[in-house]
Amino acid sequence: MSNEDDDLARAIQLSLQETTRQPVLINLDSDEDEDEEDRRFQEEMKAAIEASKTSSTRNESRPQPSSSTPATQQSNGTSVVSAFLSERAQLEKERRERQKRLRPQACTSVEDEDMEDAEEEPPAKRQQLSSSKFSYVRPNGSVPSANGGGSDVSNTARSIPTIDQVFWGGELRQTATQHAEPRKDGLPTFRLTEVLGKKSELEFAILSSYSLDWSWIYEFFDRSVPVIMVAQPDASGEATIKNVLPNWVRTTPYLRAGFGCQHMKFMLLFYKSGRLRVVISTANLIAYDWRDMENSVWLQDIPLRAKPVQHDPKADDFPAVLQQMLLAVNVKPALAAIISDNHPNLSIKSIDELRQRWDWSNVKAHLVASIAGKHEGWPKVIQSGHPRLMSVIRKIGMRTGTAKTAKNLILECQGSSLGFYTTQWLNEFHWSARGESAEDWLDKSKKSREKLPYPSIKVIFPSKATVQQSYAGEQGGGTIFCRRKQWAAKNFPRSHFYDSKSKGGPVLMHSKMIIGMLEKNAFTGRRTQGEPSDTEDDTDTDDDIEVIEPAAGWAYVGSHNFTPSAWGTLSGSSFNPTLNISNYEVGVVFLLKDSKEADGVACFQRPPRKYTSTDEPWIQEESVYHQNA
């Protein structure tokens, strides 16, 4: 091994030692009262800096990496993790100072209100104590390691055996967690090593995560493999590209005024055989999310085409939407940088080649992305957020109609963060989930929309008792977010809350999932191309509707929490709508043939238990543990 490799190994080992301690939690939730927010920030920043100083003192006697490695750019021998926390604290301070300067301009527009309602997750997660058509055999009967889900914290990523399964038809599974193995429901799971496949077979990867542990995820890849990491921007919100590790480039998309977050969790894994694996996940690239917290992973392997097809600028299929999304999160210049920096022979040279060179014909799921920003006019509006969901619902033939004979859609919306729900927004989302256009209500007055009853939506969120009864107890609830002022808000839909309990065992979930089911016997088939339904005008047809078997509903899984910040808020007129979205998000939508399949797909127990009069949601700010953390 070269001196450079020795130095890098030592630097990473120091970082890995740092991550075994409880990391400092810097909470980026921005809708707190300003005084409390500032107090908490000052305490958190002080703790982060103290942790960094302690790390410097402790590491002075240890071998230090040479100046030839990126890890040594951290002064005084501080670890990658500690330095990152300290840097993030300073950036967060600058963001909040800028936010204070902007506060006097009261939130008078829909855009401003949406920006204020940013539900974010902490950049440093608290580190505390799967329906399938494919057979699942654990290597050597072993329990998953902490590096990829499970309980053996002594193993490293290098020593974990890997099953190289291929999923040409797509696969959805929950992740393995150390306190629910084997799962109570008997379903197979994914761990990170199985998602990534054999190290030696990987040629190139594009990854995305909100929370990141660089030294941890770096160990899962051979050092020669180039990787693009789509990450959270700094407090300025500017798009950037930066080399962060040998052969690794970090790219960040633009966020208006630094508000919102890059919340996508996806992977594009390119193998030496030519195969491409697409992964849509709810898990951040940190050990906690792959070991202690249950998450969802959808993936599908895509073969190379026998012959490339021509670029189609009008395409709206899975790869076309994927390409648009990659452009939005600043992958194009990062790919150019990787190629020009010692990797000219990658199997992909431009984003457009994804659709041209790989065969997506077996992909039945539909991609739904949210692109942060202000989108004006129908051509742009329907490409993102819940209007994009609306267009997908139409594509798969699940539009409910609006006449008296329209089918009733019941939504079960599960996630790890809650929004400030109003009857206006819940009806707005439900309308899109039914496949109906916002043109029908955008010109109606706000007052009339405020009087609408809540639609058929069940909000699936863990009760306080469920968190307390989980294996880790209240310690495990550090990445599940509901505020007292949300729950106590006037007209908040408290009667629509249902408990979120894993089917796998006494563990908490970081998954984000929506199950949309038509009421029993309300829908028995799907119309074919160009054939009008009995609930619509004959002149209103969907030319691109798919011709597939009857279905009872659909499922969504991805990074979107059920919040306005993730799915967007519509305003403007039916002629010229405006969609404001705070976050970058991505997920997939696919059909469910019946209630039994919905039960198998759902990460939570169905039917969910409705809150009683004595139930309350888990509110971590009121937990003694988290107050003292």
Active site residue 626: no
pLDDT of residue 77: 33
Phi, psi of 514 (to 5 degrees): -130, 130
Range with lowest mean pLDDT among 328-337, 441-450, 541-550, 600-609:
541-550
Q: Average the pLDDT over 482-510 and give the result.
A: 97
Which residue(s) pair with 206 in the sheet?
228, 268
Range with lowest mean pLDDT among 91-105, 551-565, 592-606:
91-105
Query: What is the CATH architecture of 367-465+495-599?
Result: 2-Layer Sandwich (3.30)
Q: Look at residue 21 and give its three-state secondary structure.
A: coil
pLDDT of residue 405: 80
What band does 403 get if pLDDT is binned at 50, 70 and 90?
A: confident
**Which residues of the chain form CATH 3.30.870.10?**
139-366
Residue-wise pLDDT for 588-626, tens only, equals: 999 999 999 999 999 999 999 999 999 999 999 999 776
pLDDT of residue 594: 95
Q: Average the pLDDT over 99-113 and give the result.
A: 35
> Quick count: other Cβ atoms within 10 Å of Cβ 500?
28
Distance from C-alpha of 367 to C-alpha of 389, rounded to nearest angstrom: 9
Q: Greatest CA separation found in the chain?
A: 79
Distance from C-alpha of 421 to C-alpha of 415, rounded to nearest angstrom: 14
Is 593 flagged in the annotation as binding? Answer: no
Phi, psi of 279 (to 5 degrees): -125, 125
Distance from C-alpha of 464 to C-alpha of 514, rounded to nearest angstrom: 22
pLDDT of residue 138: 27
- CA dihedral sign of residues 333, 114, 207, 279: negative
Distance from C-alpha of 256 to C-alpha of 109, rounded to nearest angstrom: 15
The pTM (predicted TM-score) of the whole model is 0.76
Active site residue 179: no
Whether residue 59 contacts residue 11, with contact meaning beta carbons closer than 8 Å, is answered with no
What band does 532 get if pLDDT is binned at 50, 70 and 90?
A: very low
pLDDT of residue 624: 79
Whether residue 143 contacts residue 152, with contact meaning beta carbons closer than 8 Å, is answered with yes
Q: Average the pLDDT over 286-293 and give the result.
A: 97
pLDDT exceeds cutoff 70 at 104: no
pLDDT of residue 163: 56
Q: Look at residue 95 and give its three-state secondary structure.
A: helix
Is 512 flagged in the annotation as binding? Answer: yes
CA proximity to 512, closest of 466, 570, 567, 468: 567
- Cα 276 from chain centroid? 20
Q: Look at residue 541 and give its three-state secondary structure.
A: coil
Distance from C-alpha of 593 to C-alpha of 15, rounded to nearest angstrom: 47
The structure tokens 């003292």 sit at: 628
Radius of gyration of the CA atoms of the chain, in A: 24
Length, in residues, of the chain: 629
pLDDT exceeds cutoff 50 at 497: yes
The residue among 374 and 115 whose pLDDT is bigger is 374
The residue among 402 and 383 whose pLDDT is bigger is 383
pLDDT of residue 520: 62
CA proximity to 103, closest of 151, 33, 158: 33
For Cα atoms 414, 594, 266, give the angle at the middle one, nearest 5 degrees.
45
The structure tokens 């799921």 sit at: 365
Whether residue 370 contacts residue 585, with contact meaning beta carbons closer than 8 Å, is answered with yes
Whether residue 99 contacts residue 118, with contact meaning beta carbons closer than 8 Å, is answered with no
- Which one of 386, 430, 510, 560 is the catalytic residue? 510
pLDDT of residue 95: 52
- Which one of 179, 263, 430, 496 is the catalytic residue? 263
Which residue(s) pair with 376 in the sheet?
578
Q: Look at residue 236 and give its three-state secondary structure.
A: coil
Q: ω before 493 within 30° of 0 (cis)? A: no
Distance from C-alpha of 446 to C-alpha of 249, rounded to nearest angstrom: 46
pLDDT of residue 164: 76
Contacts of 371 (CB under 8 A, 6+ apart): 325, 328, 383, 384, 385, 581, 584
Residue 508 Ramachandran class (φ > 0 left, ψ -120 to 50 alpha, else beta): beta
pLDDT exceeds cutoff 80 at 547: no
Distance from C-alpha of 550 to C-alpha of 434, rounded to nearest angstrom: 16
pLDDT exceeds cutoff 90 at 74: no
pLDDT exceeds cutoff 60 at 89: no
CA proximity to 268, closest of 176, 395, 177, 355: 355
Q: What is the mean pLDDT of the chain?
A: 79
Tell me the fold of 139-366: Endonuclease; Chain A (3.30.870)
What band does 19 get if pLDDT is binned at 50, 70 and 90?
A: very low
